[in-house]
Amino acid sequence: MSTNNLSYNDQGGSDSAVEVGQETTPTSSNAGAGFGLFSTNFKKNDDLKEMLESNKDSLKLDAMKRIIALIAKGKNASELFPAVVKNVASKNIELKKLVYVYLVRYAEEQQDLALLSISTFQRALKDPNQLIRASALRVLSSIRVPIIVPIMMLAIKEAASDMSPYVRKTSAHAIQKLYSLDPDQKEHLIEVIDKLLKDKSTLVAGSVVMAFEEVCPDRIDLIHKNYRKLCNLLVDVEEWGQVVIITMLTRYARTQFTSPWKEDGLFDENSETAFYESDEKKTKNGDEKKSYMMDPDHRLLLRNTKPLLQSRNTAVVVSVAQLYWHLAPKHEVGVITKSLVRLLRSHREVQYVVLQNIATMSIQRKGMFEPYMKSFYVRSTDATHIKSLKLEILTSLANEANISTILREFQTYVKSQDKQFAAGTIQAIGRCATNISEVTDTCLQGLVLLLSNRDETVVAESVVVIKKLLQTQPTQHSDIIKHMAKLFDNIAVPMARASILWLMGEYCERVPQIAPDVLRKMAKSFTSEEDIVKLQTVNLAAKLYLTNSKQTKLLTQYILNLGKYDQNYDIRDRTRFIRQLIVPNEKSGALGKYARRILLAPKPAPVLESTYKDRDRYQLGTLSHTINTKASGYLELSDWPAVAPDQSVRNVEVIEPVKEWAPSLGKTGKSKLSKSSDDKFYSDSGEEKEKGSGSSSSEDSSSEESSSEAESDEEKSSSQSSEESDKSSSQSEKSSSESDSEQKKTTKKPPQKKTVKPTAKDRSYLLPIVCGPGERLHGFVSKQVPVSLSLFSLCILTPCPLSCAALLLQVSGPAFVPEKSHDLLHRMTGKGLSAQYQFPRQPCLYQPTMVSVQISLTNTTDHPLEQIHIGDRDPTGLDMHCFNAIECLLPEASVTVSLGVDFNDSTQAANFQLCTKEDQFSVSIQPAVGELFLPATMTEQDFRKEQGKFAGKTASSGALVLVTVELRELSAALITINTEKSVMGPMLLRDLKRALARA
Amino acid sequence: MINSLFLINPSGEIFLEKHWKSVVSRSVCDYFLEAKEKALEPEDVPPVIHTPHHYLISIYRDKLFFLSVIQTEVPPLFVIEFLHRVAEMIQDYFGECSETVVKDHMVMVYELLEEMLDNGFPLATESNVLKEMIRPPTILRSVVNTLTGTSNVGDTLPTGQPSTIPWRRAGVRYTNNEAYFDVVEEIDAILDQSGTTVFAEIQGVVEACVKLSGMPDLTLSFMNPRLLDDVSFHPCVRYKLWESERVLSFIPPDGNFTLMTYHVNAQNLVAIPVYVKQSISFFECGSDGRLDVTVGPKQTMGKTVEGVMVTVHLPKTILSINLTATQGSYTYDNGTKLLVWDIGKLNPQKLPNLRGSLSLQAGAPKPEENPSLNIDLNIQQLAISGLKVNRLDMFGEKYKPFKGVKYITKAGKFQVRT
């Protein structure tokens, strides 16, 4: 074999050489498999070994490429391990990569040698480049060698608090690898999972939830605190992560919320009416009985997953669909229909899975898919399994109204060249006929016509289906039975013959002339029939013997004799049994008397139902659902709890309950809810406590002290703010900052933690304004930029959590208020009421976390408008402080009101309804990023100090935005925006640049 | 999640395997090959196969089977979608996805697979991220590589934050900044014998080719967004803005990508651009039949219909055909009984016609059903739904990009029953 001098480019030749040697051996990864393999590879490997040991990188690279190609083809290259592992520390990145690939593949088999490489990875784990750290961890954790478990554990723990989210993501993956290698590490791994679950990076979320699902899916308590965060992050998580998170949250929600189906459960069966009526019913019931109130968190999940129905990734769409199916109130499930139907345009395999899910859904809820019935029409180019699924769905969708359309469509299918499919169609017709009594006769006639079809399978299937149909109403159809008897000679398919024979026997009294004749024919051909036909012949003979023994006695005995010596023991058995039963002799006991009642008992008609009937026991969209058996690792979806578990376990941050600020509740509303949530916030910020309910007890006394103090302060400030609104914002800031500063002194937590938590709470960003270098800048500004820019002209803008920055800074008044107002409601759409809004950039009077918005309302009609107020808004939507209702707005008059909206640091629009006495209009306020900031002043020194707190190497995953403007030359500046929120960054930058450019 | 991947060619040869967890013997593929034997067409192989210890999920694409081995519960679509991504990635890197291409670039494909999954969970599936880690081959580079012995892997590792915008790499530079959008609409329809529409709908897709420097933030708006009934987006599109303002606002990936797909709400009022007059008949006695097909323009909005092609799967009992076409040419494969009539441009003055005789195998019965015709066509400069792009605005960058929009209408699954 001349493989020695083959170069890499000449791959074809070398491949064939190897294949010759390997063909005979199994492709297991066993090192010494087969002498033939070894001897041929021996030479080849020698050559590779030499190349690997040379000191030229290019030669080594060629060798590695050949080796990887071997692995890719499934050939064994494990003997080269020692030669390869030497190159693990190579400086050539490509070579190194290939060596990594090799290591991962063979380390398990060559454990001792693999250990040689470990130190290299340990070094790489400390590399400044995040990608190198990540890939080192990836390879290290992929080496399935039990000895290094402690090293892996350490590496994972370290990587879990790495600065780079990419590395943290890798560590989440490594958790699963380690768990499969050594399940004993579970407890430690759960700790890491718990830590990573708290991560706010969208990159990490999917991977860590995956790890959670694999390692500890039962530890639902780890999710509580992260539930809302996961819901909110969901849209920005990468597609694959979305699927995993949605599936997990579906399970979670089933354990934590009460069923939204109770009130419209009545309509479950009768889907059509349920679909349309439940809407009204629900609103009625909801108002009157207060029977069910959806948990806001439940609503949050539904709301945040809905946009994902528009994802390009079909797996995401189906996972959202199953979430709605399993969690949403029945009348809301309809939103998924359109998206599911859209997926039918996708690849064949996708269609297959989606159709299966639709098949299951359409059994319970016909109304959902009925409008899209035509999307399930079969094309001749569809694959067989797609065709049968579509048929299944069409059958489920059939009802009195559309049956004629469907039957017309079926007529086309019956003629299809694909006979398997035609047979399926006939079964489908049978199901329609039994389900919808109006068309039973039509269907039956159609099926009878098919009996003269030339194709055997079609005829056979028709016979079988007719048999079933006749059983449901046997009285009127002796004609059909006669017709079938005539056809009997031409039908060869055993199942069909057997069916006809059964029909003859069952209704032999209706066709007294024909049945004995058929039996006569059967007696002739008995020996050459299939077993199933023979059994039915025996049956027919027995029944005829009982009803018409005069004509058939001899025939029966002849057949029974034939059966007695049949090769098949079933038939011999049956024959013996029948003989004892019907032929009276001295041995046959009492049973003989009842022969007639046994054989000719009226039999219940078979129920034709869908094969998808019982699939709904599996969660939709799962593998188990597709294969209709429980796949390993399938997690059952639990039933709704009768009573919802404690909701407060999910409270992590102060979410000011909507009610508290609703004008109607006034002061009283604040008492209980706000207190408990305040408690929670402070206890959280000090330390992430597991239980978090009730008081801020335990852990260390210092934090307790500070939190209790903070609590009182907070309460004071909030009560003030609701009444004497003027001072409130600054007051509460001060109070919270005080409490925080105390915490800083007393507790020993790393500063990052503290900065993280309050951000979540204090929802408005601050822009501390630094005046130091600003002097120079101001010159620049005043020279080139007019005053209008002054808000942005300051050299460093950094939004910083209120409480940490508030130490020394003062909220400053806006330097510039844009006069631009935005349309809220146009007078055309508002039936004469027009509304415009603008951001006054004033601190909000009602609550520090709110942004104030001014709305000017104008009446352009010629009659006064009464009772203008804010109507319904989403209970879990953005927190808002409404204006008092305007009693009357005269024609041509206008009035300005102010509103407070807590935008949650997002650019999410605030949606609500603006109502007059007669009408209500849905409107929305879209915040610009810049409007969410609060201007503040601080010295440069303080600023640096605050900025420094963000720059720790360990992950600080607070939602921080850092805007830096660096002056290069007199006329050039560099703006850097550093934010984790990928949406915020570019938008803010865009706004800034536009503003600068305009100037 | 995904344990292993096998690439299998139509003859059943496994030519690439990759394992992300412990190695699964390739003998597991026997279950699949068995199912493949049973199926008449490669498309009929069930996508999900249940074996005693594993679950096999496969896709058939570009004449290749991508077979993945699963050990535990996972949403099947998750795997299917991923497998399609693999195929798309190969297509993206090497221009086509075929057995030869994969065999030629075995090492690179293997490395790509290594990057795409970690422990069976997708790690990097965005083509932009992948291309930063492993550079795609170009002719120039492969020449240089062979001469100098350097390689495709970037020797400087990307330092850009992989987290900020996963689908776009930083520091993109072009001398000509251009953004092109193709609005492609496909008509799916079933027509019955008499030419009546049984079912018709329009599915559209906006394909983009964006070559812009820096971090442009684009906003694309339509004249008539109300037409769009159901949409799905590339992850870069901001859902919220679409919901509130019906504009597409996004930071585009670099290069070619599918921006959105949509479904047009037309309530069966879809303009059908062509009509087909056909008669296929078989004589009751004797083994003969006739075929006569004419295609003509119907509602074309004044545009020319091009690339018209009629495909017919003739019944298995056909022995031979003898046809003449007044325009274009036809091919007939006696093995698969596939008749393809390539017409080309449709001339309203002189309608193309294909007619002639079919002869059946001696003694074979007359076929029950006439074969249905599948029509292919395309119309340039027309979106049949009437959708129009209003404007494209760019923020975030200073230069003036060159913008272009193109409309094409095609036939999707357009079937005429006979």
Tell me the per-residue pLDDT of A601-643, one tens digit each, with 9 for 90 and over.
Answer: 877 777 777 777 778 888 888 999 888 888 888 888 888 888 8
Owner of token pair 């209980």 = A672
- Asked whether the beta carbons of residue A983 and residue B77 sit closer than 8 angstroms, the reply is no
| Long-range contacts of residues A722-725, Cβ cutoff 8 Å, at least 24 apart | A722/A661, A722/A666, A722/A667, A722/A670, A722/A846, A723/A667, A725/A845, A725/A846
Give residue B185's pLDDT: 92
Measure CB to CB from residue A28 to each of B19, B25, B50 and give the nearest one: B25
Residue A799 has pLDDT above 60, yes or no: no
* Sheet containing A910-915: order of strands: A886-889, A865-873, A910-915, A920-925
One domain for residues B257 and B373: no
One domain for residues B368 and B323: yes
CA distances from B25 to A160, A223, A776, B2, B6 (A): 34, 37, 71, 15, 11
Domain termination residue (choose one: B105, B130, B148): B148
Q: Where are the beta strands (DSSP E) in A920-980?
A: 920-925, 933-938, 961-967, 973-979
The answer to whether A375 touches A593, Cβ cutoff 8 Å, is no
Q: Is B154 on the interface with A (CB under 8 A)?
A: yes
B chain contacts of residue A626, beta-carbon cutoff 8 Å: 48, 76
When pLDDT is averaged across residues A699-713 and rounded to a whole number, the result is 42
Q: Is B25 on the interface with A (CB under 8 A)?
A: yes
The answer to whether A849 touches A660, Cβ cutoff 8 Å, is no
Q: What percent of chain B has pLDDT over 90?
A: 26
Q: For residue B154, is it within any domain?
A: no
One domain for residues B345 and B389: no
Measure CB to CB from residue A385 to each of B1, B46, B313 and give the nearest one: B46
> Which of B44, B118, B197 is the best residue to mutate to test the A interface, defined by the most A CB atoms within 10 Å of its own CB?
B118
When pLDDT is averaged across residues A161-166 and rounded to a whole number, the result is 86
Q: Is B109 on the interface with A (CB under 8 A)?
A: yes
> Which of A60, A349, A459 is the best residue to mutate to test the B interface, defined by the most B CB atoms within 10 Å of its own CB?
A349
Residue, of A931 and A659, whose pLDDT is higher: A931
Q: For residue B164, is it within any domain?
A: no
User: Shortest CA distance to B3 belongs to which of B63, B74, B59?
Assistant: B74
Tell me the per-residue pLDDT of A726-745, one tens digit each, with 9 for 90 and over.
Answer: 444 444 444 444 444 444 44
Size of interface A-B (CB pairs under 8 A): 274
One domain for residues B184 and B110: no
CA A144 to CA A162: how far, in whole Å?
23
Give residue A588's pLDDT: 58
DSSP B184: E
Give residue A836's pLDDT: 82
Q: How far is CA A868 from the centre of its chain?
A: 41
A chain contacts of residue B244, beta-carbon cutoff 8 Å: 909, 924, 926
Measure CB to CB from residue A310 to each of B71, B159, B239 and give the nearest one: B239
One domain for residues B34 and B95: yes
Give residue A690's pLDDT: 39
Q: Which string of b and e fits A741-780 if b means at least 16 CB within 10 Å?
A: ebbbebbebeebbbbbbbbbbbbbbbbbbbeeebeebeeb
Coil, strand or helix: which one is A817?
A: coil
- Asked whether the beta carbons of residue A203 and residue B163 sit closer than 8 angstroms, the reply is yes
The answer to whether A543 touches A508, Cβ cutoff 8 Å, is yes
The answer to whether A413 touches A425, Cβ cutoff 8 Å, is yes
Taking the CA of residue B207 and the nearest CA in chain A, the distance in Å comes to: 13
Owner of token pair 């001295």 = A586
Give residue B239's pLDDT: 84
Give residue A242's pLDDT: 92
Q: How confident is the model at residue A39 (pLDDT cuts 50, 70, 90)?
A: very low
> What is the residue-averaged pLDDT of chain A?
72
Furthest CA-CA distance within chain B? 78
Least confident segment among A265-279, A334-348, A846-860: A265-279
Q: How confident is the model at residue A814 (pLDDT cuts 50, 70, 90)?
A: low
Residue, of A996 and A671, whose pLDDT is higher: A996
Coil, strand or helix: which one is A889?
A: strand
Give residue A44's pLDDT: 61
Q: For residue B170, is it within any domain?
A: no
Residue A856 has pLDDT above 50, yes or no: yes
- Asked whether the beta carbons of residue A986 and residue B121 sit closer than 8 angstroms, the reply is no
When pLDDT is averaged across residues B25-38 and rounded to a whole number, the result is 90
Residue A787 has pLDDT above 70, yes or no: no
Q: Where are the beta strands (DSSP E) in A338-440?
A: none
Q: How confident is the model at residue B6 (pLDDT cuts 50, 70, 90)?
A: very high
Domain of B333 in residue numbering reads as 274-379
State the ipTM, two decimals.
Answer: 0.90
Give residue A174's pLDDT: 92
* Sheet containing B389-395: order of strands: B247-250, B217-222, B389-395
One domain for residues B315 and B347: yes
Residue, of A814 and A504, whose pLDDT is higher: A504
Least confident segment among A420-429, A481-490, A838-847: A838-847
Q: How far is CA B77 from the centre of its chain?
A: 18
Least confident segment among A15-24, A33-42, A217-226: A15-24
User: Shortest CA distance to B128 belongs to which of B231, B204, B235, B262?
Assistant: B235
Tell me the per-residue pLDDT of A896-915, one tens digit each, with 9 for 90 and over.
Answer: 777 777 777 666 777 778 77
Owner of token pair 């030749």 = A13
One domain for residues B144 and B19: yes
B chain contacts of residue A247, beta-carbon cutoff 8 Å: 75
Q: What is the DSSP string of A577-609?
A: HHHHHHS--SS--GGGGGHHHHHT---PPPP--
One domain for residues B265 and B278: no
Q: Enter the tokens of residue B5.
A: 């991947």
Q: How confident is the model at residue B76 (pLDDT cuts 50, 70, 90)?
A: very high
Q: How confident is the model at residue B146 (pLDDT cuts 50, 70, 90)?
A: low
Residue, of A960 and A849, whose pLDDT is higher: A849
Give residue B208's pLDDT: 93
B chain contacts of residue A394, beta-carbon cutoff 8 Å: none
A chain contacts of residue B157, beta-carbon cutoff 8 Å: 93, 129, 131-132
Residue A694 has pLDDT above 70, yes or no: no
Q: For residue B46, is it within any domain?
A: yes
Give whichever of A29-43, A583-597, B195-209 has the largest mean pLDDT.
B195-209
Measure CB to CB from residue B59 to each of A69, A347, A415 and give the nearest one: A347
Taking the CA of residue A62 and the nearest CA in chain B, the distance in Å comes to: 9
Q: How confident is the model at residue B280 (pLDDT cuts 50, 70, 90)?
A: confident
One domain for residues B283 and B329: yes
B chain contacts of residue A318, beta-carbon cutoff 8 Å: 75, 77
Q: For residue B137, is it within any domain?
A: yes
Q: For residue B160, is it within any domain?
A: no
Q: For residue B38, is it within any domain?
A: yes
Give residue A641's pLDDT: 85
User: Shortest CA distance to A274 belongs to which of A322, A331, A328?
Assistant: A331
* Sheet containing B2-8: order of strands: B14-19, B2-8, B64-70, B55-61, B48-50
Residue A316 has pLDDT above 90, yes or no: yes
One domain for residues B38 and B111: yes
Taking the CA of residue B352 and the nearest CA in chain A, the distance in Å comes to: 25
Q: How far is CA A893 from the centre of its chain?
A: 51
Q: What is the CATH number of the domain that holds B134?
A: 3.30.450.60
Give the 3-state DSSP-derived string for B382-405, with helices as H, strands as E and coil as C: CCCCCCCEEEEEEECCCCCCEEEE
Give residue B59's pLDDT: 93
Q: Is B417 on the interface with A (CB under 8 A)?
A: yes
Residue A995 has pLDDT above 80, yes or no: no
Measure CB to CB from residue A454 to each of B19, B44, B368 and give the nearest one: B368
Give whichever of A840-844, A846-850, B46-50 has the largest mean pLDDT.
B46-50
Residue A359 has pLDDT above 60, yes or no: yes
B chain contacts of residue A908, beta-carbon cutoff 8 Å: 240
Give residue A655's pLDDT: 42
User: Shortest CA distance to A801 belongs to which of A847, A768, A773, A831?
Assistant: A768
Give residue A460's pLDDT: 81
Give residue B289's pLDDT: 83
When pLDDT is averaged across residues A834-845 and rounded to a whole number, the result is 75
The answer to whether A818 touches A792, Cβ cutoff 8 Å, is no
Residue A343 has pLDDT above 50, yes or no: yes
Q: For residue B323, is it within any domain?
A: yes
- Asked whether the beta carbons of residue B396 and residue A354 sit closer than 8 angstroms, the reply is no
One domain for residues B278 and B373: yes
Q: Is B300 on the interface with A (CB under 8 A)?
A: no
> Which of A232, A310, A387 is the best residue to mutate to test the B interface, defined by the most B CB atoms within 10 Å of its own CB?
A310
Residue B56, CB-side half-sphere exposure with 13 Å CA sphere = 27
User: Shortest CA distance to A546 belongs to which of A524, A520, A579?
Assistant: A579
Q: How confident is the model at residue B47 (pLDDT cuts 50, 70, 90)?
A: very high
Q: Enter the tokens of residue A171.
A: 């560590």
When pLDDT is averaged across residues B390-405 and rounded to a whole number, the result is 89
Residue B82 has pLDDT above 90, yes or no: yes
Q: Enter the tokens of residue A660.
A: 């508290």
Q: Could you give the number of structural domains in chain B?
A: 3
- Asked whether the beta carbons of residue B232 and residue A312 sit closer than 8 angstroms, the reply is yes
| Surface of B (37-66) touching A: CB under 8 A | 39-41, 43-44, 46-48, 50, 55, 57-61
DSSP A330: G
> Which of B119, B145, B161, B217 is the best residue to mutate to test the A interface, defined by the most A CB atoms within 10 Å of its own CB?
B119
Give residue A28's pLDDT: 39
Q: How confident is the model at residue A766 (pLDDT cuts 50, 70, 90)?
A: very low
Give residue A79's pLDDT: 84
Q: Is B104 exposed, middle or buried (0-12, 13-18, 19+ CB in 10 A)?
A: middle
Q: What is the DSSP string of A611-680?
A: TTTTGGGSPTTSHHHHHTS--TT--PPPPPPSSPPPGGGG--S----HHHHSTTTTTGGGHHHHHHHHHH
Taking the CA of residue A373 and the nearest CA in chain B, the distance in Å comes to: 10
Least confident segment among A330-334, A857-861, A933-937, B123-127: A933-937
> How much is the CA Rg of chain B, to the nearest whole Å?
25
Residue A306 has pLDDT above 80, yes or no: yes
Give residue A106's pLDDT: 86
Phi-psi sector, B381: left (phi>0), alpha (psi -120 to 50), beta: left
Residue A537, CB-side half-sphere exposure with 13 Å CA sphere = 31
How many Cβ atoms are within 10 Å of A340's Cβ, its own excluded? 24
Give residue A792's pLDDT: 36
Residue B183 has pLDDT above 90, yes or no: yes
- Asked whether the beta carbons of residue A207 and residue B121 sit closer than 8 angstroms, the reply is yes
- Asked whether the beta carbons of residue A240 and residue B121 sit closer than 8 angstroms, the reply is yes
| Surface of B (157-176) touching A: CB under 8 A | 157-159, 162-166
- Asked whether the beta carbons of residue B82 and residue A240 sit closer than 8 angstroms, the reply is yes
Tell me the per-residue pLDDT of A475-518, one tens digit each, with 9 for 90 and over.
Answer: 667 778 888 888 888 787 888 888 888 888 888 877 888 888 88
Measure CB to CB from residue B71 to each of A69, A350, A632 and give the nearest one: A632
Give residue A153's pLDDT: 92
Q: What percent of chain A has pLDDT over 90?
A: 9
One domain for residues B32 and B90: yes
Residue A87 has pLDDT above 60, yes or no: yes
Q: What is the CATH number of the domain that holds B404?
A: 2.60.40.1170
Residue B79 has pLDDT above 90, yes or no: yes
Residue A703 has pLDDT above 60, yes or no: no
DSSP A884: P
